[in-house]
Structure 1
Amino acid sequence: MATFTYAVAGPVPIVSLKHLDPTLPPVLAGQNPTCSLLVLQKDFADTVGSPPASANYTQPRDCPFPWTRVVLELSVSASDLQKDRVAAIWIDGAEVLRTATPRPMAPGAFWRVRKDITRYATLLRRVASGGGGALSMMLENSNDILPGVFSANVSLHFYRGALSPSFRRLAAGFAAHPSIKGLYSEPADLIVPVSNPNGYYRSGFWLRIDNETHVPSTAITIPRNTYRAVLEIFVSYHGDDEFWYTNPLRSAYRHQPLPSNLSTPRANGGFRQVYATVDGRFVGGHIPFAVLYPSSINPYFWSPVAAIGAFDMPSYDLDLTPFLGFMLDGRPHDIGLGVQDAQPFWLVSANLHLWVDAWSDSVQAGLIEYISPPIKMNRNAEWRDKEGQSEINAEGLFRFTGWVSSSKGNLTTQVSQKIKFKGQVEVQNRGSTTQIELQNKERMMVAIQKGHQLLGRVQLYVEAPLQVQTSMVSAAGGALFQKSRLYHQLTEMVTLSEGQAMTTSTLTDRQDAEGSALMHGDAPVWGSGSTKSSYRYKDGSTCYLRNVNTAGGAVMMDTKSASCAAVADA
């Protein structure tokens, strides 16, 4: 067992300049990369509406393919006070990271995001073959109100040789999102972006969704020898839907003054589903995990610890292999991205991961089963003026099965998914007290068979509860004094079967926070917050536990352990 504790000695500082994310690192300390490459350096000042910063890169000669692992590192510092922003990084137009910056409370704040991007090795392999490539970063910042400038460095770290056995399965990825890539040990042979093709010259590669009927699409032609396809979707929410998960359900609410920044102008409730279509046909979707931006609830909760999933925002996998029968004709097909019940606006993009049969010029495929009934929705609301309550319940069951005949044989892929969602909003005391409770559950299974023989199967269970209680009173000058409490948790359990072998991994990521703030509009005048973060990961005999407590902008306790006994007892 290795346990380390960092305690604050002497007077507690007002704020900590270093912001941190208490999640599982992509590699263990002491595992040094074979080589590292600084690709991009950029100061983001007044960049609203500007094209992304881009840099050409070529592979270092001492880092030839293949690599055991590739890690992307984003290091950022803020010169002064600034709002939080959403940023993204693309490699040749394919998104590899979406992140939210902290809300710097003092000059000199800094942080680092490290992400395993081995999944995107095909993009880097093309660079290694001599074609070169471009890495782009989008961070729209403004100095109209606050002076802070974000200075960013983007680096790639390449690893070769054996890594620690305890972390050998981390490439499967468990970080606040439904992931099926654990079933595919080898990265895809080809990655095709589903994004804005003019991203280099306009405001980034992401596509904008303004309402529930808006489904932007990209025409894509895939190789005729493709035998497997997985669509990975990135999303972030802004404007009227920045706090979609706290949205009450009340038609009369649309044109009334809002009791707090936890509500949105159109009170259509807090249910959202991110989904994809192929030539207009629904091919799957996910209820997004509610990532809390650093300005959410109480900004002092997230200084200096990040909310769950904020530094490495979730992506969502949809296995499209059952639908290859419609896509292998050598013609372009429209892949669309939508958000059910969306309000302005969502930023989305996707990567189509394709595995191709090197021994065949073309393969055959067909759809066997397509079950996609409308999601069952139950909406109830009772309001009297500014007081009342609303509830949304949603359930859905989807199942898609298809076959592909290639040099690997005739393989059948079955995808099944069950979702269950419940969102409640209660407002009391003439709108001054709000209580929000959200529960999101999902079960997903992807299985690959050859005849009656099961080759591989991944079963995923996700549960994500969120509770928020907020009370407010008016203060001088039109400000509001707000007291808040928060409970947020992510639980993931993944069972992976390959032949006769079966492994199970579990992740529990929890945060509890409480505090107060004096808010003028969306700007904090002063306040305080304390947050307790508990991260537990177990995969067979591999374990990782980290507890971080923060208060008053300082880290009060930070413990790490690799003991499975500690994980079991936590």
Structure 2
Amino acid sequence: MNPKHFLLLLPLVLTLCLTTTATTTAPKGFSRLGDKLKFPNMTLEHLDPTLPPVLPGQTPRCSVLVLQHDFANTIGAPPAAANYSQPPDCPAPWTRIVLELSVSASAIQKDRIAAIWIDGVEVLRTTTPVPMSPGAFWKVTKDITRYASAVRRLADYNGVVSMMLENSNTELPGVYSASISIHFYRGAVSTNPNSFSTHPTIKGLYKEPADLIIPVTNENGFNKAGFWFTIQNEADTVATSIQIPTNTYRAVLELFVSYHGDDEFWYNNPLRSSYLDKTSNPKLSTPRTNGAFRQVFAAIDGKFVGGHIPIVVIYPGSINPFFWSPVAAIAAFDMPSYDLDITPFLGMLLDGRPHEFSFGVHDSQPYWLVGANLHVWVDVWSDVTQAGLMDYNAPPLKVNRNAAWRNQDGQSEIDAEGLLRFIGWVSSSKGNLTTVVRQKIKFKSQVEVQNRGAVKQVEMINKGRMTVALMKGNQGLARVQLMVDAPMQVQTSSVNTASGAVFQKTRLYHQLQEIVELSEGQAVSVATLTDRQDADGSALLHEGEAVWGNGATRSSYKFRDDTTCYIRAVNTAGGLVQFDTTSGSCLKLGEEGKRSAS
């Protein structure tokens, strides 16, 4: 935002805050986005209340500072990169590998997307907070043991660690200073090695990390485009050729996605009536009115192999940026990836030739950033494995769209349901094993606008169930089931002011619940995660940018499996932490939660 615009709005801001003071001190929760007003020089740590990869007091065998870089004017620049050298006294194998990203901001700035790659393998996609004053800092820690083969290759061949964060100082002065470290652990760790440090995925079926991870990314990743692919619209697909070892017996495709531009708020998109009749206007491209439904999908040689409706990740500058200072929105610091078990399709891939892996996003608008990792397990006792597809049942999602509008007011609804099943066999030294993959999707989006566009209500239901079973003949060897429920509700009321600014009040409810059930023979283990946030507040918007605001957010995070119980509750208001408690006892946390709620 241009500083002169803010100066014109300052009297209005002070009026809305109902302040009569004669000083120039800004009201509580105040943010200004120009450089002509003084702002306090303070430090503020932004928090992500999730389960830490390792408990406090556990000391890594060694720690390596991998990369340090200041991201100033980096839009259009290639990723920052650094060669890696493994300490000689810290060789593989490692019990656990933890990535640590530490970032600080020199001044105010917008939120940005970022990613970290290890020799082209994406290990983290993240967003930055919105620094509202100098001194903002935060830390992201992620268990990357799953990528152990990529880390071993990095150590053995002096590979490259790279990070992309496109930032600009054209309007705002903030520079992001980032440092990346990798911590290696040996011996026992007190948390369950089968636990999920943030978001469970079907990797729970595979206790050992993949033998090989192949980046399914932009081949020219070190140029200005970075390793991720850009998808511009629903008709756009991106593709690359991949060749896998002929002795592969298991394969999982991991997808990373983020959304930007016209689709940054896709989950709030209304569905306009005109979109229901594309035949009369096939070139219809009005942005942000095509409804709140998206599905990212993958194909091999043009054959659909699976997809996911993404979990909503609210970026720190979205809806009301004062909600996310200093607590991060769900999954904003460690954006979830999505697994597709493609073992049933190995019969297509074991011929020693390259095959086309392609990606797309149904109903998307400009633009999405998509990348993938192919996790491969190889049979060291065989030069070639045999495989075949036994059953392929993947009908298109049933999507119903309804909309009724009169000028600015109206409502729309999108319902989507899907059920798919893939079954394939693989013959290796482990025997003739059958993999069964089932996925069920249920999605609903409702958007209602009233009072001449002044009141907007959004409700989303996003449920998914993924089951992967491993069988030998009629005998079930192992099965993992992942159930995901991610509801969201947003209510917004807006008032236009005489100066052209908009005063907006918002209430938000968002939750991510994941349940993983792992069965091996007669043994059954269950891990559950519930991450919930409730927020309310106000913001003054000028040209879409918040120039003043306040917000209060209540975050509740609970993870539990057979050996671990972790609960954390964080309440913030006016940019300050009001309440922050952590417990390793579910009983104790339940009592604290009741007191906090009262």
TM-score, normalised with respect to structure 1 = 0.94
Kept in 1: contact 2:29–2:548 (CA 8 A): no
| Cα displacement (A) at 1:119 | 0.6
Does residue 533 (structure 1) correspond to residue 560 (structure 2)? The answer is no
Corresponding residue to 1:350 among 353, 360, 372: 372
Corresponding residue to 2:184 among 133, 141, 158: 158
Q: C-alpha separation between the residues in 2 aligned to 1:567 and 1:494?
A: 22
Q: C-alpha separation between the residues in 1 aligned to 2:155 and 2:316?
A: 38
Quote the RMSD (CA, aligned, Å): 1.7
Does residue 18 (structure 1) correspond to residue 45 (structure 2)? The answer is yes
Q: C-alpha separation between the residues in 2 aligned to 1:568 and 1:377?
A: 40
| Cα displacement (A) at 1:373 | 0.5
Corresponding residue to 1:134 among 139, 160, 176: 160
Q: C-alpha separation between the residues in 2 aligned to 1:305 and 1:132?
A: 37
Deviates more, 1:560-569 or 1:227-236: 560-569
AA aligned to 1:70 is I
Corresponding residue to 1:168 among 193, 210, 218: 193
Residue matched to 2:76: 49
- 1:543-564 per-residue CA deviation (whole Å, 9 max, x = no partner) reads 0000000000000000000002
Does residue 70 (structure 1) correspond to residue 92 (structure 2)? The answer is no
- 1:327-360 per-residue CA deviation (whole Å, 9 max, x = no partner) reads 1011110011111111000000000000000000
Higher RCO, 1 or 2 (CA under 8 Å, sep at least 6)?
A: 1
Q: C-alpha separation between the residues in 1 aligned to 2:137 and 2:498?
A: 34
- 1:425-476 per-residue CA deviation (whole Å, 9 max, x = no partner) reads 0000100110000000011100001112211110111100000000011124
Kept in 1: contact 2:490–2:508 (CA 8 A): yes
AA aligned to 1:136 is S
Question: Do the aligned partners of residues 13 and 48 (structure 1) sit closer, same or farther apart at CA in structure 2, a change above 3 Å counting?
Answer: closer
Kept in 1: contact 2:142–2:197 (CA 8 A): no
AA aligned to 1:437 is E
Larger radius of gyration: 2
Unmatched runs of 5 consecutive residues or more in structure 1: 1-11, 255-263
Kept in 1: contact 2:118–2:154 (CA 8 A): no
| Cα displacement (A) at 1:16 | 6.3
Does residue 437 (structure 1) correspond to residue 424 (structure 2)? The answer is no
Q: Classify the secondary structure of the residue corresponding to 1:218.
A: strand
Q: Classify the secondary structure of the residue corresponding to 2:445.
A: strand
| Cα displacement (A) at 1:565 | 1.3
Residue matched to 1:274: 296
Q: C-alpha separation between the residues in 1 aligned to 2:448 and 2:185?
A: 51
AA aligned to 1:169 is N
Deviating beyond 6 angstroms after TM superposition, the runs of 4 or more aligned structure 1 residues are 12-16
AA aligned to 1:222 is I
Q: C-alpha separation between the residues in 1 aligned to 2:405 and 2:43?
A: 43
Q: Classify the secondary structure of the residue corresponding to 2:588.
A: helix
| Cα displacement (A) at 1:103 | 0.3
Residue matched to 1:100: 127
Kept in 2: contact 1:95–1:351 (CA 8 A): yes
Describe how 1:282-301 pairs up with structure 2 within 5 A.
Answer: 282-301=304-323
Q: Classify the secondary structure of the residue corresponding to 1:566.
A: helix
Residue matched to 2:85: 58
Q: C-alpha separation between the residues in 1 aligned to 2:178 and 2:412?
A: 43
Question: Do the aligned partners of residues 140 and 208 (structure 1) sit closer, same or farther apart at CA in structure 2, a change above 3 Å counting?
Answer: same
| Cα displacement (A) at 1:251 | 4.3
Q: C-alpha separation between the residues in 2 aligned to 1:510 and 1:142?
A: 33
- 1:399-437 per-residue CA deviation (whole Å, 9 max, x = no partner) reads 000000000000000000000000000000100110000
- 1:216-266 per-residue CA deviation (whole Å, 9 max, x = no partner) reads 011001110000000000000000000011111004489xxxxxxxxx824
Kept in 2: contact 1:27–1:167 (CA 8 A): no
Q: C-alpha separation between the residues in 2 aligned to 1:429 and 1:358?
A: 67
Q: C-alpha separation between the residues in 2 aligned to 1:104 and 1:363?
A: 53
Q: C-alpha separation between the residues in 1 aligned to 2:105 and 2:73?
A: 14
Q: Classify the secondary structure of the residue corresponding to 1:314.
A: coil
| Cα displacement (A) at 1:120 | 0.6
Question: Do the aligned partners of residues 391 and 538 (structure 1) sit closer, same or farther apart at CA in structure 2, a change above 3 Å counting?
Answer: same
AA aligned to 2:303 is R
Q: Classify the secondary structure of the residue corresponding to 1:394.
A: strand
Residue matched to 1:33: 60
| Cα displacement (A) at 1:500 | 2.0
Q: Classify the secondary structure of the residue corresponding to 2:508.
A: strand
Residue matched to 1:502: 524
Q: Classify the secondary structure of the residue corresponding to 2:249.
A: strand
Does residue 328 (structure 1) correspond to residue 350 (structure 2)? The answer is yes
AA aligned to 1:395 is E
Kept in 1: contact 2:491–2:507 (CA 8 A): yes
Q: Classify the secondary structure of the residue corresponding to 2:486.
A: strand
Question: Do the aligned partners of residues 342 and 13 (structure 1) sit closer, same or farther apart at CA in structure 2, a change above 3 Å counting?
Answer: closer
Kept in 2: contact 1:497–1:503 (CA 8 A): yes
Q: C-alpha separation between the residues in 1 aligned to 2:470 and 2:163?
A: 37
Residue matched to 2:326: 304
Q: C-alpha separation between the residues in 2 aligned to 1:55 and 1:114?
A: 20
Q: C-alpha separation between the residues in 1 aligned to 2:241 and 2:557?
A: 41
Q: Classify the secondary structure of the residue corresponding to 2:499.
A: helix
Q: C-alpha separation between the residues in 2 aligned to 1:350 and 1:457?
A: 24
Q: C-alpha separation between the residues in 2 aligned to 1:518 and 1:201?
A: 39
| Cα displacement (A) at 1:93 | 0.7
Kept in 1: contact 2:273–2:405 (CA 8 A): no
% same residue? 68
Residue matched to 1:9: none
Q: Classify the secondary structure of the residue corresponding to 1:478.
A: coil
Q: C-alpha separation between the residues in 2 aligned to 1:253 and 1:412?
A: 43
Kept in 2: contact 1:538–1:567 (CA 8 A): no
Kept in 1: contact 2:387–2:427 (CA 8 A): yes
Kept in 2: contact 1:16–1:554 (CA 8 A): no
Q: C-alpha separation between the residues in 2 aligned to 1:265 and 1:452?
A: 51
- 1:18-69 per-residue CA deviation (whole Å, 9 max, x = no partner) reads 0000011000000011110001000000000000000000111121100000
Q: C-alpha separation between the residues in 2 aligned to 1:568 and 1:503?
A: 22
Q: Classify the secondary structure of the residue corresponding to 1:265.
A: coil
Corresponding residue to 1:146 among 152, 172, 184: 172
Residue matched to 2:13: none
Q: Classify the secondary structure of the residue corresponding to 2:335.
A: coil
TM-score, normalised with respect to structure 2 = 0.89
Kept in 1: contact 2:43–2:135 (CA 8 A): no
Q: Classify the secondary structure of the residue corresponding to 1:155.
A: strand
Does residue 448 (structure 1) correspond to residue 470 (structure 2)? The answer is yes
Kept in 2: contact 1:322–1:367 (CA 8 A): yes
- 1:519-563 per-residue CA deviation (whole Å, 9 max, x = no partner) reads 112321111000000001110242000000000000000000000
AA aligned to 2:506 is S
Q: Classify the secondary structure of the residue corresponding to 1:122.
A: helix
Question: Do the aligned partners of residues 110 and 173 (structure 1) sit closer, same or farther apart at CA in structure 2, a change above 3 Å counting?
Answer: closer
AA aligned to 1:276 is A
Q: C-alpha separation between the residues in 2 aligned to 1:408 and 1:356?
A: 11
Describe how 1:255-274 pairs up with structure 2 within 5 A.
Answer: 265-274=287-296
| Cα displacement (A) at 1:477 | 2.6
Describe how 1:334-413 pairs up with structure 2 within 5 A.
Answer: 334-413=356-435
Q: Classify the secondary structure of the residue corresponding to 2:153.
A: helix
Kept in 2: contact 1:39–1:156 (CA 8 A): yes
Corresponding residue to 2:117 among 78, 82, 90: 90
